[in-house]
């Protein structure tokens, strides 16, 4: 192992590979900033470029593009509430309110530091424990993955304000329903398509995300024009847009959050099919619960914890996703599936023997991740004051800009005008729901997890001969489901527990 690590350092430290890390990170960050172009598009664009390179160099370039795009995706989420990548949706919940409050520079700095920390800690874990973690991820079965998806859905409790848990649950169910539109993967039969050929492939995540966040936000700005007093406040806030200094107490507050989210994100990333999206939502939900009643109320309104947690987790999960790819040959996401294809085109078979047969490829990619995180930090921190100036644009300019990138981003994915019409319809529905105080995040969470949840539920039922006993037969499945139930019902039971405590202490006081 030590020999492999040393050979990896030797390969990763070659000038051409360091250059590729820098090019990959820069290109990935730029592409990720554009709503609609995520890491899959970024890596797909890089594949023709890598054909003339050594396998190590090509994979290092694509890895740099991967975490550069995730990093860049958070920028559009924070500044214009347009999460073009599923893994950065949770970053917009507190990042965008922070930016609106005049702290765009600070929000981007927290995102940069959190991403660096999450990616670096995960790279160290990857270096130490990749072969062992491959065996752990193999032990997960469909029943465990179904339980994990249920646990992911319980993050909905974090997005429910006081008395809004029912609304959040209803929106989650709506998201799950939308995820069933399209062709049934098991039977190949179209369902809920209303006879429209355009819905055969289902509803695009990007379309739904842009409609419910970016487009509806732009429509809200048109419907509710700012008063003169609000405009004056914004002008005052814009003077501090480039400020990215963190106070000592803020650093102390987010340091443990970064530590916890790095570990959680990495281990979720290791599981094939889980990935950065589930990691970011789970990290957000966990931190909201751990924050306590006072700090917990700040989530969704500009909490620095609420931004640091998903940003750390999604970058840690990106590094973690290389464990199943390199050690098992199993792509955990669409992005790593493209990278698997690139590896196979080089004549390299990922799997348990990769770090024995091609140690220079295995270890150089892992070492390059650490270098890449440093490059991302060095590249992006000086640019933050300038990037943050996007918010200084007047609404008359910014709203058309958001509309343009939302519509063009969705159109460029499918080149189908039907998607634009559907997007506008969803944006209008989202606008009405937002005016009625329904949260959008649970719907998107249900939509993201719905497909994976259904697929693993079907597999679990086949394994157990159509019996629901799989829910309690495996200790791991039962444990994950028990945690999920606990997380979901804690918000409901908390007021009653508080009342009981008051009664007990009141009785004790009277008795004294």
Report the DSSP beta bridge partners of residue 183.
190
Three-state DSSP at 94 gives: helix
Kindly report the backbone phi and psi dihedral angles of residue 348, in degrees, each rounded to the nearest multiple of 5, phi listed first: -110, 130
Per residue of the chain (512 residues), what is the pLDDT tens digit? Answer: 667 677 778 878 888 888 888 888 888 887 777 765 667 767 767 777 777 788 888 888 888 888 788 777 788 788 877 776 777 888 888 888 888 887 888 888 898 889 888 888 888 887 777 667 666 666 777 787 788 778 777 766 655 655 577 888 888 889 889 988 888 877 778 888 888 888 888 888 778 877 887 788 778 777 766 555 555 555 554 555 556 678 888 888 889 999 999 988 888 887 766 677 788 888 888 888 787 777 777 888 888 888 999 999 988 888 887 777 777 666 666 677 677 777 777 777 776 667 667 777 777 877 888 888 888 888 777 877 776 666 566 667 777 877 777 777 777 777 888 888 898 899 899 889 888 888 887 887 788 778 778 888 888 887 777 777 777 878 878 887 887 787 677 666 666 666 666 666 555 555 55
Report the DSSP beta bridge partners of residue 190.
183
* Secondary structure (DSSP) of 139-198: T--HHHHHHHHHHHHGGGGGG--TT-HHHHHHHHHHHHHHHT-EE-TTT--EES-TT-GG
Task: Give the CA count within 13 Å in the CB-facing half-sphere of 418.
Answer: 11
Other Cβ atoms less than 10 A from the Cβ of 469: the count is 10
Nearest to 88 by CA among 101, 100, 76: 76
Q: Are 393 and 241 in contact (CB under 8 A)?
A: no
Chain centroid to Cα 483, Å, comes to 21
* Secondary structure (DSSP) of 286-326: HHHHHTHHHHHTTTTTT-HHHHHHHHHHHHHHHHHTHHHHH
Q: How far apart are CA 147 and CA 484, in angstroms?
A: 8
């Amino acid at each position: 192992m030590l020999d492999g690590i040393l050979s990896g350092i030797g390969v990763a430290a070659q000038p051409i590979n360091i250059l590729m890390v820098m090019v990959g990170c820069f290109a990935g960050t730029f592409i990720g900033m554009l709503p609609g172009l995520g890491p899959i598009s970024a890596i797909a664009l890089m594949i023709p470029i890598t054909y003339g390179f050594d396998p190590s160099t090509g994979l290092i370039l694509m890895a740099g593009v991967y975490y550069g795009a995730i990093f860049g995706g958070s920028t559009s989420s924070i500044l214009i509430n347009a999460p073009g990548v599923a893994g950065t949706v949770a970053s917009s919940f507190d990042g965008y309110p922070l930016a609106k409050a005049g702290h765009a520079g600070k929000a981007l700095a927290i995102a940069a530091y959190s991403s660096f920390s999450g990616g670096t800690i995960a790279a160290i874990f990857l270096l130490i424990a990749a072969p062992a973690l491959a065996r752990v991820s193999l032990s997960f079965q469909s029943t465990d993955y179904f339980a994990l998806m249920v646990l992911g859905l319980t993050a909905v409790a974090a997005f429910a304000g006081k008395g809004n848990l029912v609304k959040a649950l209803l929106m989650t169910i709506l998201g799950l329903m939308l995820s069933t539109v399209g062709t049934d993967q098991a039977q190949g039969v179209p369902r809920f398509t209303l006879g429209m050929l355009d819905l055969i492939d289902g509803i695009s995540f990007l379309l739904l995300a842009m409609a419910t966040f970016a487009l509806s936000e732009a429509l809200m700005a048109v419907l509710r024009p700012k008063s003169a007093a609000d405009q004056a406040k914004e002008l005052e806030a814009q003077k501090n847009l480039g400020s990215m200094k963190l106070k000592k107490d803020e650093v102390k507050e987010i340091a443990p959050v970064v530590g916890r989210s790095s570990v959680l994100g990495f281990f979720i990333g290791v599981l094939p099919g889980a990935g950065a999206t589930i990691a970011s939502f789970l990290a957000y939900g966990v931190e909201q619960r751990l924050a306590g009643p006072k700090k917990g109320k700040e989530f969704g309104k500009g909490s620095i914890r609420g931004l640091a947690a998903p940003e750390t987790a999604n970058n840690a999960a990106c590094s973690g996703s290389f464990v199943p790819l390199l050690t098992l040959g199993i792509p955990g996401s669409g992005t790593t599936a493209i990278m698997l294809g690139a590896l196979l085109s080089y004549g390299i078979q990922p799997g348990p023997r990769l770090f024995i047969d091609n140690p220079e490829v295995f270890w150089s990619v892992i070492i390059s991740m650490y270098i890449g995180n440093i490059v991302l930090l060095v590249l992006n921190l000086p640019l933050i004051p300038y990037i943050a100036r996007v918010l200084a644009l007047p609404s008359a300019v910014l709203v058309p800009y958001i509309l343009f990138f939302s519509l063009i981003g969705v159109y460029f994915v499918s080149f189908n005008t039907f998607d634009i019409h559907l997007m506008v319809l969803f944006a209008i529905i989202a606008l009405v729901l937002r005016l009625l105080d329904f949260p959008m995040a649970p719907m998107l969470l249900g939509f993201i997890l719905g497909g994976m949840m259904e697929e693993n539920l079907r597999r679990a039922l086949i394994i157990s001969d159509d019996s629901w006993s799989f829910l309690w037969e495996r200790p791991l499945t039962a444990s994950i489901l028990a945690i999920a139930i606990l997380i979901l019902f804690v918000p409901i039971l908390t007021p009653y527990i508080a009342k009981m405590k008051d009664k007990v202490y009141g009785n004790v006081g009277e008795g004294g």
